[in-house]
């Protein structure tokens, strides 16, 4: 029933990867998260997921969204794993900057 949506999402992964690479290429990136309600099949009620927005690029003109099921460190660490300039990252207070330094 949802096969076409999965196929479209899969086909857009290279574009997402390119946007992410370009947005992190200038040494300046801004990121923040927003809580969203997450409904999971078989789970009563809702949980809180996170939608992360990261701005980057030459004029902060690229906007890349990422989703995580929680506000844990893993999502930002994975997103910024190849990012070298982290002098002003304040996107999540629980994320120690020294963990990201390359």
- Residues 41-69 pLDDT 10s: 888 999 999 999 888 888 888 889 989 98
pLDDT of residue 97: 42
Q: pTM value?
A: 0.68
Q: Is residue 6 part of a domain?
A: no
CB burial of 6-39 (b: ≥16 within 10 Å; e: otherwise) equals: eeeeeeeeeeeeebbeebbeeebbebebeeeeee
Q: What percent of the chain has pLDDT over 70?
A: 79
Q: Is residue 3 part of a domain?
A: no
Place of tokens 């902060």: 60
Q: Is the pLDDT of residue 86 over 70?
A: no
Q: Is the pLDDT of residue 100 over 80?
A: no
Distance CA 31, CA 44 (A): 31
Q: Is residue 2 part of a domain?
A: no
Q: Is residue 63 part of a domain?
A: yes
> Residue 80 is part of which domain span?
14-99
Q: Closest Cα to residue 64, out of 48, 79, 84, 49? A: 79
């Amino acid at each position: 029933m949802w096969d076409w949506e999965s196929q479209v999402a899969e086909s857009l992964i290279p574009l997402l990867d390119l946007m992410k690479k370009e947005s992190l290429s200038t040494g300046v990136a801004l990121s923040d998260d927003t809580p969203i309600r997450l409904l999971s099949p078989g789970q009563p009620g809702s949980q809180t997921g996170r939608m992360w927005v990261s701005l980057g690029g030459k004029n902060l003109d690229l906007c890349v969204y990422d989703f995580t099921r929680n506000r844990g460190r893993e999502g930002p660490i994975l997103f910024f794993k190849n990012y070298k300039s982290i002098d002003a990252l304040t996107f999540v207070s629980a994320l120690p900057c020294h963990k990201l330094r390359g």
